[in-house]
């Protein structure tokens, strides 16, 4: 680390704090400004913020470790979520914006009524704001801790403090992020997200440019892997044993995970962006932008860096550190500081969002709902900032004890599996009630935790997902059918506010006299085409990057056909005056 590197890092940190200070006044104006940006986010800012939030410092390290251990096909562990993320464009983005809630948990008392709804809201708010959120922040902090340790930054600062250095590393990170996120509110978070996403992507590209020539470019990577008998590391599908991805697990990823995971209708952080968007159309455009940035744009710089690290450092005890080792070995002064700043940007974009999101639950769904319903805006913002301190302290504790990023990621998937089907059905079927959703959430969490007990031995991950998903369904379905449905008044009010499509709300349409604002069948077809479009784009770009021109051109041709069919569907609905013509956006 040269003086120039330190200057670059310092300039970035100071700039971020200045942005936080600049937006602190706007965030303090009102509760809505602090947590949902006054519902005025443009689509390009909301979509980029969603992409930045999912691009944490752990992600390139996680992908590097995946490719080293399992090859490119190992990425299906997170690629499978593309099915969920495309469907949320057409099925849920507009519904969330139309609901005008402050948090996704608040929807429970709009969709359901009485004490069960209040209990569900409180339980969901606590579980997602504290354990789930803090574990998620903790593994982002774990990754940042690994970066700082591997780069020797703490030793370079020559600070002599008692105790274990990694404890102080986590503490320093926690304090910095807390100051930045606590001051800014959501406006500050999304604005810095926009800058941080660009910087984080540039950082990955810089590592590619400097390290790739030393292995002979893409052709050299392919030749070296072939000589070592590792050509199957380049496969996009997990057909070989190298991916360590059983067919059971793969089928669980693409056949279960997308509908069983807790984020099936968007997920808290994404929903916060939908709720904060200017219009329903902005919410839908933001969702499409996120998908393109997340799956098409940034996937391949990470994978190329991972392949280079696999060739240059095949014996690393912790392959996740290969990314950092490339930075140290290949980047000149100044650029090393810039890439380290990009890691900080990736880290801060994720953690700042998690802090603001978790605090919104604690304020809106716990403090205001249960302790002080008459609280004013100034009090709500103050409680939000105090809640941020608690969340960061718990996340730092999780980061101190965690060791492996990939393990924590899979654990988060496992404990979040189960309630997804209910979260989808509650939008489209009147019979779903609060007891059913509460049972799905608790049953899925309990079954997943039980599957980790030593008495069950080593459980295939796909089997774990299937048992959790279907085991949860075996609990919540009977409970839902054996308990009372929601009242006619509650159901009619929910329908009046959101007006979803499909046959599940026929009675409420008759009661309210309102037609749906969604053509569910058309949206499902659009979602299917969108899934084809996104995967074809992602694979097409990937094959071109890796020099497989025939496959790449064929995949991009498939993407073009899917895009034209989507555009034609939109134009046809507009010309015929169908329901979708007024609100479905061309991707």
> How many residues belong to the chain?
587
CATH code, 3-29+56-486 = 1.20.1730.10
Between the two ends of the chain, the Cα-to-Cα distance in Å is: 44
The pLDDT value recorded for residue 408 is 67
Residue 518: C-alpha distances to residues 3, 325, 433, 487, 522 (Å): 58, 51, 22, 23, 9
Q: Where are the domains of the chain?
A: 3-29+56-486, 519-587
Rounded Cα gap, residues 323 and 75, in angstroms: 16
Residue 239 is encoded by which pair of tokens?
Answer: 């057909």
Q: What is the pLDDT of residues 289-325, one digit of tens each?
A: 999 999 999 899 989 999 999 899 988 888 888 888 8
Q: Where are the beta strands (DSSP E) in 365-449?
A: none
Q: What is the pLDDT of residues 4-58, one digit of tens each?
A: 888 988 888 888 778 777 776 665 566 667 777 778 889 999 999 899 888 777 7
Rounded Cα gap, residues 156 and 202, in angstroms: 25
Q: Which residues contact 453 (CB under 8 A, 6 or more apart)?
A: none
Helices 133-151 & 58-70, crossing angle to 10 degrees? 80
For the CA atoms of 11, 12, 15, 21, the dihedral, rounded to the nearest 10 degrees, stands at -120
Q: Which residues contact 322 (CB under 8 A, 6 or more apart)?
A: 64, 65, 68, 306, 309, 310, 312, 313, 316
Q: Which residues contact 537 (CB under 8 A, 6 or more apart)?
A: 292, 295, 296, 555, 556, 559
CB 494 within 8 A of CB 552: no
Provide the β-strand partners of residue 261: 417
Q: Which residues contact 171 (CB under 8 A, 6 or more apart)?
A: 396
Rounded Cα gap, residues 329 and 339, in angstroms: 13
What's the helix, strand, coil split of the chain in %, to 5? Answer: 80, 0, 20
Residue 209 is encoded by which pair of tokens?
Answer: 């440019």
The pLDDT value recorded for residue 143 is 73
CB 293 within 8 A of CB 59: no
Residue 283 is encoded by which pair of tokens?
Answer: 């919410």
Q: Which of 214, 305, 222 is nearest to 548 (CA)?
A: 222
What ranges in 292-376 are assigned the alpha helix state H?
299-312, 322-330, 335-360
The pLDDT value recorded for residue 30 is 65
Under-50 pLDDT residues of the chain: 574-587
Residue 123: C-alpha distances to residues 267, 441, 489 (Å): 16, 9, 24
Rounded Cα gap, residues 58 and 52, in angstroms: 12
Is residue 318 classed as helix, strand or coil in its secondary structure? coil
Provide the β-strand partners of residue 277: 41
């Amino acid at each position: 680390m040269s003086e120039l590197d330190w200057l670059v890092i310092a300039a970035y940190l100071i700039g971020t704090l200045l942005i936080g200070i600049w937006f602190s006044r706007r965030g303090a104006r009102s509760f809505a400004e602090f947590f949902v940006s006054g519902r005025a986010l443009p689509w390009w800012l909301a979509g980029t913020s969603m992409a930045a939030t999912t691009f944490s410092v752990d992600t390139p390290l996680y992908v590097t470790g995946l490719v080293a251990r399992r090859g490119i096909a190992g990425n299906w562990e997170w690629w499978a979520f593309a099915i969920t993320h495309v469907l949320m464009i057409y099925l849920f983005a507009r519904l969330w914006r139309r609901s005008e809630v402050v948090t996704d948990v608040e929807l429970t008392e709009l969709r359901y009524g009485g004490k069960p709804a209040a209990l569900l809201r409180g339980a969901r708010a606590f579980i997602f704001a504290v354990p789930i959120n803090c574990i998620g922040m903790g593994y982002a902090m774990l990754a940042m801790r690994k970066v700082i340790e591997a780069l020797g930054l703490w030793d370079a600062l020559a600070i002599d403090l008692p105790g274990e250095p990694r404890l102080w590393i986590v503490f320093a990170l926690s304090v910095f992020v807390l100051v930045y996120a606590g001051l800014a509110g959501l406006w500050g978070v999304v604005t810095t997200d926009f800058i941080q996403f660009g910087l984080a992507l540039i950082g990955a590209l810089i590592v590619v440019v400097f390290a790739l020539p030393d292995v002979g470019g893409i052709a050299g990577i392919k030749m070296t892997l072939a000589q070592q008998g590792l050509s199957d590391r380049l496969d996009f599908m997990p057909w070989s044993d190298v991916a360590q991805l059983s067919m059971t697990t793969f089928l669980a990823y693409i056949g279960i995970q997308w509908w069983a995971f807790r984020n099936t209708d968007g997920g808290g952080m994404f929903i916060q962006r939908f709720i904060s968007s200017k219009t329903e159309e902005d919410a839908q455009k933001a969702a499409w932008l996120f998908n393109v940035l997340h799956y098409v744009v940034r996937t391949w710089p990470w994978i190329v860096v991972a392949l280079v690290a696999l060739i240059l450092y095949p014996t690393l005890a912790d392959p996740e550190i290969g990314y950092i080792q490339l930075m140290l070995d290949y980047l000149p002064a100044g650029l090393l500081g810039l890439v380290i700043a990009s890691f900080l940007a990736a880290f801060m974009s994720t953690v700042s969002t998690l802090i603001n999101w978790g605090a919104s639950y604690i304020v809106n769904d716990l403090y205001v709902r249960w302790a002080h319903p008459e609280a004013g805006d100034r009090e709500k913002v103050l409680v939000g900032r105090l809640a941020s301190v608690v969340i960061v302290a718990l996340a730092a504790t999780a980061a101190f004890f965690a060791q492996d990023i990939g393990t924590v990621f899979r654990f988060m998937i496992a404990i979040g599996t189960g309630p997804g089907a209910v979260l989808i059905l509650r939008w489209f079927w009147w019979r779903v009630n609060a007891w059913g959703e509460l049972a799905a959430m608790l049953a899925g969490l309990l079954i997943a935790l039980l599957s980790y007990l030593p008495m069950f031995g080593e459980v295939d991950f796909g089997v774990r997902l299937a048992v959790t998903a279907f085991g949860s369904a075996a609990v919540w379905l009977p409970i839902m059918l054996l308990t009372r449905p929601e009242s006619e008044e509650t159901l009619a009010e929910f329908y009046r506010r959101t007006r979803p499509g499909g046959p599940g709300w026929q009675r409420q349409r008759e009661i309210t006299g309102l037609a749906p604002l969604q053509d569910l069948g058309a949206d499902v077809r659009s979602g299917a085409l969108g899934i084809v479009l996104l995967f074809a784009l992602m694979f097409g770009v990937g094959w071109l990057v890796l020099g497989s021109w025939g496959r790449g051109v064929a995949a991009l041709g498939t993407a073009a056909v899917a895009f034209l069919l989507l555009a034609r569907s939109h134009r046809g609905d507009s010309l015929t005056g169908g329901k979708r013509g007024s609100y479905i956006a061309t991707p």
